[in-house]
């Protein structure tokens, strides 16, 4: 197993260097932050997971909820590291069994996310994890679902925060709300 090799400040710098910008994706005018170029680097990936763990280790997390699909990539190893269960939050129609759904607005339409209705015991402490916080719509929808099935959302961690889109304002007050790298413009 690899260990953290750098400070948090250095990690932010290394992430900025590793994350690739893709202009006009998925539509014209959008500058897409591609994290796959960071995840393919074994030590950087290990450092990302460890930094997320360091932020959450004192929060007494029982479940990590990851948003499809990059939230799965970060959330699964983080749940393992925290000794917590992992809960997938998926797009409509992807989970078997009975689900709770939440439909939300996007700038160009609507989307829907789901969670199993029996995924979380009432009152269990849940940490939401995703790769990127932009406008906050998907994270807010996931937050709503966690509460709908009885979980207590205590925190949210992101690899990247596009702060200029003000996504944090869409989330409820949380004990823990952090990102490893923040873009202000």
Query: In whole angstroms, what is the distance from residue 18 CA to residue 50 CA?
Result: 17
Give yes or no for residue 2 having a pLDDT over 50: no
User: Which residue shows structure tokens 């809960």?
Assistant: 87
Question: Which distant-in-sequence residues (6+ apart) come within 8 Å of 158 by Cβ?
Answer: 129, 130, 131, 132, 133, 139, 178, 179, 180
pLDDT of the residue at 147: 98
> Among the options 107, 121, 125, 168, which is catalytic?
107
Across residues 65-89, what is the average pLDDT? 97
pLDDT of residue 112: 96
107 is catalytic: yes
Q: Which of 16, 40, 58, 70 is catalytic?
A: 70
Q: What angle do CA 176, 114, 83 make, to 5 degrees?
A: 45
pLDDT digits (tens, 9 = 90+) for 97-127: 999 999 998 767 789 999 999 999 999 999 9
List the beta strands (DSSP E) in the chain.
20-23, 31-34, 63-67, 85-91, 99-106, 109-116, 125-133, 152-162, 176-183
Annotated active-site residue 70? The verdict is yes
pLDDT value for 3 = 46
pLDDT score, position 6: 53
pLDDT digits (tens, 9 = 90+) for 123-151: 999 999 999 999 999 999 999 999 999 99
Cross-strand partners of 128:
65, 156
């Amino acid at each position: 197993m690899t260990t953290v090799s750098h400070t948090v400040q250095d990690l932010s710098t290394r992430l900025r260097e590793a994350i690739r910008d893709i202009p006009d994706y998925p539509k014209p005018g959008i500058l897409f932050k591609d994290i796959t170029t960071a995840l393919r680097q074994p030590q950087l990936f290990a450092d990302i997971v460890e930094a997320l763990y360091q932020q959450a280790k004192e929060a007494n997390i029982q479940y990590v909820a990851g948003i499809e699909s990059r939230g799965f990539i970060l959330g699964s190893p983080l749940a393992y590291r925290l000794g917590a269960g992992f809960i997938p939050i998926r797009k409509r129609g992807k989970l078997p069994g009975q689900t709770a759904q939440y439909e939300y607005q996007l700038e160009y339409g609507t989307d829907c996310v789901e969670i199993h209705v029996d995924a979380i015991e009432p009152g269990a402490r849940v940490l939401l994890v995703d790769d990127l916080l932009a406008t906050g719509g998907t994270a807010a929808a996931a937050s709503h679902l966690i509460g709908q099935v009885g979980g207590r959302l205590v925190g949210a961690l992101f690899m990247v925060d596009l702060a200029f889109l003000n996504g944090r304002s869409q989330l409820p007050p949380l004990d823990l709300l952090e990102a490893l790298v923040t873009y202000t413009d």
